[in-house]
Amino acid sequence: MDDISPNANGMLANGDTYTGSQPTAPAVLTPALTLLLAITCGVTVANLYYNQPLLAEISRGLHVSQSAAASVTTMTQLGYALGILLFIPLGDRLRRKPLVMLLVALTILSLLAAAAAPNLTVLATASFAIGLVTVVPHVLIPFVASIVSAEERGQAVGKVMSGLLLGILLSRTASGIVGDMFGWRAVFYAAAILMVALAVVLGKQLPDSRGTANLSYPRLLKSVWDLLVAEPVLRQACISGALLFASFSIFWATLAYLMSSAVYHQGPLAVGLFGLVGAAGAAGAPLAGRLADIRGARYMVGISMVGVAISFVIFLVYGLTYAGLITGVLLMDLGVQSGHVSNQTRIYSLGSHHGSRLNTAYMVCYFIGGAAGSQFGAWVWSNYSWHGVSLAGMGTMAIAFAIHKLAKTY
């Protein structure tokens, strides 16, 4: 691992200039601040996942095929990957609070555009914009990692991540309920109203802080690639994270189609309720963070992959029953989220001075994996139905585990 402390000339090992400035936010992560950050992460990240229970409804409402409707999810995830690349490195250089408030305002406008979309092209474009600017959690999580000790980092990140993960999973429940009662457009209008309320709270309560990197914007972006080249731990986390999220997206991008098929005859509400099951799995994120601190984050990533692979075996054998789906969702979400927290614990150990850029590299790869998984899952569903989806998830995890075991241990 590279030395990330400043040298006698004020330079970091990766070429950054260290300004010597310290965050203006509290040096201690208080319970109140933890709760605020967890809620903020959950409410904002939820915007990425509202569309998943609604895909069948969007397909019918806009008179497009199921495969075409899946492009809404894919565009959202691609936008998110690009937004992380463009905006999150700024967390190492700029004041974080103004950056957060700008992103929240742009998210509100994007949600309103999605709600009013007259056709799939406009909806897919608005969904890309939603993903592009809904990156607030990845401005805040590196901040958390920078104000706690190395011994507490996994647990602290896990606590804030639990809010993010619950937002991911409960967003599907909320979307399913609202979509079932009022239609898919109402979901996006409600999300915009929720973001307005969040903006008011953040404007009053969010502490400010400033990054320590003194780089131009082009050099800041280039340093993301430099870190990826220099840090083998970061590369390992990027690969394993991308494949874990690909398997996650293979499932969630096709569940709405399974629920609306002749097997279940259900609508968005049924899909959304599975988010409650997944939330139980996400509740294990803080525990995963503590185990990563004790047993090692790399070890926990491997265990997470095994758990996700087993979940797809359950989907293959028992996925056409409610009991099988519930059991599989619980295990899959626990595995994916535990692997995610463990991977983030690994990358933040590489240094807080470039935490936002480490997170940028990781999350760009993570959501490219998710976008690929969503589109691949929709194609597999169209051609091979549910058993094909289950085998696709198993195969993705087999590849991930093989790469994980063959990689050098760091």
> Across-strand partners of 106?
none
Average pLDDT, integer, range 304-308: 94
Residue 146 located in a structural domain: yes
CA 344 from chain center: how many Å? 11
CATH number of the domain enclosing 382: 1.20.1250.20
Residue 51 located in a structural domain: yes
For the full predicted model, state whether its pTM sits above 0.85: no
pLDDT per residue as tens digits for the range 75-115: 998 999 899 888 888 877 777 788 889 999 999 999 999 99
Give me the percent of the chain exceeding a pLDDT of 70: 84
- Model confidence at 14: pLDDT above 70: no
Residue 24 located in a structural domain: no
For residue 410, what pLDDT band results from cuts at 50, 70 and 90? low
Residue 44 located in a structural domain: yes
> Across-strand partners of 11?
17
Residue 386 located in a structural domain: yes
Q: Higher confidence at residue 29 or residue 254?
A: 254
What's the confidence (pLDDT) of residue 360? 85
* Number of domains observed in the structure of the chain: 1
Nearest C-alpha neighbor of 177 from the set 114, 96, 55, 268: 268
Torsion of CA 37, 40, 44, 50, to 10 degrees: 110
Residue 21 located in a structural domain: no
Q: Higher confidence at residue 256 or residue 238?
A: 238
Residue 189 located in a structural domain: yes
- 55 vs 253: CA distance, rounded Å: 8
What's the confidence (pLDDT) of residue 167? 86
- Model confidence at 23: pLDDT above 50: no
Nearest C-alpha neighbor of 375 from the set 170, 184, 124, 116: 124
Residue 10 located in a structural domain: no
pLDDT per residue as tens digits for the range 163-210: 887 787 788 889 989 998 999 999 999 999 999 999 999 888 877 776
Q: What is the per-residue DSSP string for 123-147? A: HHHHHHHHHHH--THHHHHHHHHHT
Write out the residue range of the structural domain in which residue 42 sits: 31-406
Q: Higher confidence at residue 354 or residue 368?
A: 368
Mean pLDDT of all residues belonging to the chain: 83
